Amino acid sequence: MSFIFFDTETTGLHAGFDQIVQFAAVRTDNDLNETDRFELRSRIDPNVVPDVQAMLANGLSIEALTDQHLSTHYQMMRDLNERLLSWSPAIFLGYNSIRFDEEFLRHALYRTLHPPYLTSLHGNARNDVMSLALSCSASGDNALRVPLKDSGDPSFRLHDIAAANGIAVLKAHDAMFDTQTTLELCRLVKKLSPDLWRRFVRFSNKASVADFVTSDEPFVLTEFYGNRAYHTPVVFVANEPDQPNGMLCLSLVEPIEELASMSDEQLASWLLSPPRPIRRVRSNAGPTMMPLWEASEEFFVGTSCEELEDRAARIVEDEGLKTRIERVFSENRAQYPEPGHVEEMLYTKFSSRNDATLCDRFHSAPWSERHAIAQSFEDDRLKELALRICHFECRSALAPELVQAMDVDLAHRLMSTDARPPSVERALKKVEEGRPSSECEVSDIGLLEGYGAFLSERRIKIMRFLEAQ
């Protein structure tokens, strides 16, 4: 099996509304020897308003983000999809990629009418190298040195861990350099701790994750929230309803004697009280796990491995209790409002096979035929996205009155003061809040001033356009 290491640079943190502007990938063989690489860049779409903090982090000026010599986002994603498919099957790896880069990749594929789950299909698998760093820290393995922050907590930032392990960080927040840094970390772990590496590779396969979790043996689950790692001894209780890749595990930290006598109301209150005793594990998300007997005693929270194993055995044997926990948890879990924008609707449903075929026709057809194909989609999400692609890529192929209506809609969106999507109005306020101070880098001052001027000019043009309507 080959590996694909990848990283993205984006215009912000919202996978639906922001955009990938740089994508880099390195393919290796099973021994982590490089066999190929590529890098793609794109200019921003007309409806994308970059977040100023993201621009400061990656050092990309508004001139670079709007460079007309670069591919459009749609063109970049066409190339990216073709290249990654040609490299499949493989194991996709990045740093903090499951929560960030993978989400951006999925949403970018979705928004450009490509199958979004590329890294989980075609024989592919995925994992997150941050999980490998967490495993090294949790197991006490010396394969990676995890540096400490001023607070005394471990730092799992890619560049901090790289520097602590003698890996040169040549250019932070550049997709290709970050990809190369992630690859070097994996080479180091594979060399110094081959057992840990083999487990990491094993857990890139969701069937292996499911087998481990559902084995009825207790284990330590490591999760990362708020820049901190949390280690919880747990045992499997049930598969998550309506989530084929989800599994529910119960924390073993608290005694379980009172659970059987609780009413449903009391059980619900206990299950929903922080820190929540039910932990959700996704088999397709490369979770960080280790057998209980391998874990450090500091994760046992004042008890012993033997006591935790006893608690786990009693839960495993009590089918009635497990069924109640699953039912009460499912009945009381949080309900989220329906998303209001098409960019946020990736996970609302799956498209039909007929629509998948239409997507292929759309990509290969002349622009003059694509509007008609867009109207043929069964899925209203795909209709809207296809029409938007036509509007951005070849507006001359659309009827003038349709172009005018879409221009007006885009103008109102860019001038909106709503919480989302990002708008020119709110971006200008953020730029003003971040105006240069005596502590700013010279490059940051230039970037802020350039972006502020761009936004002000764009705002004037939009207002004039709307006034003329």
Find the range with the poorest average confidence among 150-164, 374-388, 411-425, 434-448: 434-448
CB 81 within 8 A of CB 124: no
The CB density around residue 71, as the number of other CB atoms within 10 Å, is 15
Q: Please tell me whether 9 is known to bind a ligand.
A: yes
> What would the mean pLDDT of 27-34 be, rounded to a whole number?
98
Q: Band of the pLDDT at 76, cuts 50, 70, 90?
A: very high
Query: In the structure encoding, which two tokens stand for residue 204, read together?
Result: 């890139």
How far is C-alpha 127 from the chain's CA centre?
11
CB 24 within 8 A of CB 39: yes
Q: Please tell me whether 413 is known to bind a ligand.
A: no
As a whole number, the mean pLDDT across the chain is 93
Rounded CA separation 167/184 (Å)? 7
Q: What is the pLDDT of residue 249?
A: 97
Q: What confidence tens digit (pLDDT) does each residue in 38-50 have?
A: 999 999 999 999 9
Instruction: Compare 170 and 387 and report the one with higher pLDDT.
Output: 387
Of 45, 56, 42, 46, the residue nearest 12 (C-alpha): 56
Q: Could you give the percent of the chain with pLDDT greater than 90?
A: 80
Spatial CB neighbours of 464, under 8 Å, sequence gap ≥ 6:
none
Domains of the chain with CATH codes = 3-193 (3.30.420.10), 216-332 (3.30.1520.20)
* C-alpha pair distances (Å), 443 with each of 10, 60, 255, 433: 19, 10, 56, 17
Q: What confidence tens digit (pLDDT) does each residue in 398-418 have?
A: 999 999 999 999 999 999 988
> What would the mean pLDDT of 347-371 be, rounded to a whole number?
97
CB-based burial label for 265 (10 Å; 0-12, 13-18, 19+): exposed
Rounded CA separation 399/357 (Å)? 25
Q: Band of the pLDDT at 445, cuts 50, 70, 90?
A: confident
CB 204 within 8 A of CB 279: no
Q: Please tell me whether 369 is known to bind a ligand.
A: no
Q: What is the pLDDT of residue 1?
A: 87
* Side chain identity, residue 141: D
| β-strand partners of 22 | 9, 41
pLDDT above 90 (res 108) = yes
Rounded CA separation 469/461 (Å)? 13
> What would the mean pLDDT of 98-121 be, rounded to a whole number?
97
* C-alpha pair distances (Å), 350 with each of 74, 121, 243, 402: 21, 14, 13, 28
Q: Band of the pLDDT at 361, cuts 50, 70, 90?
A: very high
Q: What is the pLDDT of residue 295?
A: 86
Q: Please tell me whether 202 is known to bind a ligand.
A: no
CB 28 within 8 A of CB 2: yes
- Rounded to two decimals, what is the model's pTM? 0.94
